[in-house]
Amino acid sequence: MYLKKNIATSESGFIFNPSTGDSYAANQAATDILQLLKQGTDPSDVKKQLLEKYQVDSLRLEQDWDDFINQLKQANLLES
């Protein structure tokens, strides 16, 4: 699961898809995920880091993770 190479992300959570012109604002947790995915970090390692950084149990994390990944897919931001 990788973010498309051309997707621009900023530390402040701004996401820009240069192919479509769409832009999005992400919260801190989403920004962290995107930065890590962009660096090629494996999803399981991303989740580990999220569990360490945020006060969240693993069940809730999995639910939010699926929800977020679906949003990224719908926005056409992931490599197919």
Q: Would you tell me which residues interact with another protein (CB under 8 A)? A: 6, 8, 16, 18-21
Min separation Cβ 39 and another protein, Å: 21
Nearest distance from residue 18's CB to another protein, in Å?
A: 4
Of 18 and 45, which has the nearer Cβ to another protein? 18
Alpha-carbon gap, residue 71 to 28, rounded angstroms = 16
C-beta of residue 22 within 8 angstroms of C-beta of residue 75: yes
Q: Which is nearer to another protein, 8 or 25 (CB)?
A: 8
49 Cβ contact list (under 8 Å, min separation 6): 32, 36, 41
Q: In the complex with another protein, which residue's Cβ is closer, 16 or 68? A: 16
Q: How far is the CB of 22 from another protein (least distance, A)?
A: 8
| Edge-to-edge order in the sheet of strand 22-25 | 8-9, 14-17, 22-25
